[in-house]
Amino acid sequence: MQEAMLGKAVLPIFDVHCHLQDPRIVKSLPIVLDSAARVGVKWFAVNGTSEDDWEEVKKLSEEHNEVIPCFGLHPWYVEKRSDQWYRRLRSMFDEVPGAAMGEAGLDKGSRGKEISLAVQVDVLKQQLLLAKELQRPISVHCVRAFGELQETLKELGPFPQGVILHSFLGSAEMVHPLAKWGAYFSFSGFLTSMSEKKAKKMLKEVPLDRILIETDAPDALPRVDCSALMWVPGDACAPGEASDSNCMNNVPSQALNHPANIKSVLAYVSSMLGVEEKVVASAAYENAKKLFDYPGSKIRA
Binding-site annotation: residue ranges: 17, 19, 103, 141, 166, 216
Q: Which helix (H) or strand (E) holds 246?
A: none
- Is the sign of the CA dihedral 234, 21, 115, 139 positive or negative? negative
Phi, psi of 57 (to 5 degrees): -65, -45
Query: Between the CA of residue 214 and those of 16, 30, 153, 190, 253, what are the distances in Å?
Result: 5, 19, 22, 10, 19
Give the C-alpha separation, 247 to 76, whole Å. 32
Euclidean distance between CA atoms 9 and 91, whole angstroms:
41
Annotated binding site for a divalent metal cation: 17, 19, 103, 141, 166, 216
Measured from the Cβ of residue 239, the count of other Cβ atoms closer than 10 Å reads 17
Closest to 222 measured CA to CA, from 187, 272, 172: 187
Largest Cα–Cα distance in the chain? 54
Residue 196's CB is within 10 A of a number of other CB atoms, namely: 11
Neighbours of 252 (CB within 10 A): 11
- What residues contact residue 218 under an 8 Å CB cut-off, 6+ apart? 19, 22, 24, 25, 232, 256, 257, 258
- Concatenate the DSSP letters of all residues of 28-91 into one string: THHHHHHHHHHTTEEEEEEEP-STTTHHHHHHHHHH-TTEEEEE---GGGGGG--TTHHHHHHH
